[in-house]
Chains A and B, each alone.
Chain A
Amino acid sequence: QKEVEQNSGPLSVPEGAIASLNCTYSDRGSQSFFWYRQYSGKSPELIMFIYSNGDKEDGRFTAQLNKASQYVSLLIRDSQPSDSATYLCALGGGADGLTFGKGTHLIIQP
């Protein structure tokens, strides 16, 4: 069974700093990797996806993938209080839906 490991936090970061969120996974056959954001009491929403080793940038967000180390990360530059949420790492690409980690609770301190 696929497993996705994340530090549950909370991770506290000052406003304007870089927030670094990490995720490791067990299934070497996973093809797609996702970061979802979930505000308290709300449903998850997709932030970014990455398929290939290396970095992928989208605005203030950068996803990093290292398949050899089975490691995915998300960097948030110039963190804002509105970035405070739980960030879920997920694996996909198979016929069995997405497998989510427990999420990391991020707090951006003004």
Chain B
Amino acid sequence: EAGVAQSPRYKIIEKRQSVAFWCNPISGHATLYWYQQILGQGPKLLIQFQNNGVVDDSQLPKDRFSAERLKGVDSTLKIQPAKLEDSAVYLCASSLDLAGTLTGELFFGEGSRLTVL
């Protein structure tokens, strides 16, 4: 079974530029999560989708971050304009359904490492 796919793996941009990250979850997984992990910290949930609907985006900085999951499968996370403090690894995860938060069965991708100069 293929895992969660993310791209690009690495991205270096200058502040005020824009960047987009792509995620393809495990086939059949209805719930998709984007987490931000700053060096030395634990992952922080940015947004959670159930199919193509948003379940929680309370910690998403909406003035610069946006995310979509139009067909309930792939998802894109965009940052525009980027700030220095956005330097982090952006982890995409998926679970079969919302019960993933009960079982902890979140499957993470390898992450996209962003460096903002």
Report Cα–Cα, A49/B95, bound state, in Å: 15
B56 and A97 within 8 A (CB): yes
Chain B residues 9-67 with CB under 8 Å of chain A are 33, 35, 40-45, 48, 55-56, 58
Q: A43-B110, A43-B111, A44-B108 are in contact. Are A94 and B42 (CB under 8 A)?
A: no
B101 and A97 within 8 A (CB): yes
Output the nearest chain A residue to B33 by Cβ-Cβ distance: A97
Interface size bracket, B side = 20 to 34
Q: A43-B108, A45-B108 are in contact. Are A99 and B103 (CB under 8 A)?
A: no
Interface size on A, residues (CB 8 A): 27
Residues of B within 8 A of A42 (CB): 110
A32 and B103 within 8 A (CB): yes
Residues of A within 8 A of B98 (CB): 95
A4 interfacial by beta-carbon distance below 8 Å: yes
B42 and A4 within 8 A (CB): yes
Main secondary structure of the interface of A (DSSP, over half): loop
B interface vs A, CB < 8 Å?
33, 35, 40-45, 48, 55-56, 58, 91, 98, 101-106, 108-111
The 5 A-B pairs of least Cβ separation, nearest first, read: A100-B42, A43-B108, A34-B104, A92-B101, A97-B45
Extra pairs beyond A49-B103, A94-B101, A96-B48 (8, CB < 8 Å): A34-B104, A43-B110, A44-B43, A96-B55, A96-B101, A98-B45, A98-B104, A100-B35
List, sorted by A's number, 24 A–B pairs whose CB atoms are closer than 8 Å.
A4-B42, A31-B102, A32-B102, A34-B104, A44-B43, A44-B91, A45-B108, A46-B106, A49-B103, A90-B42, A92-B101, A93-B101, A95-B55, A95-B98, A96-B48, A97-B45, A97-B56, A98-B101, A98-B104, A98-B106, A99-B45, A102-B40, A102-B42, A103-B42
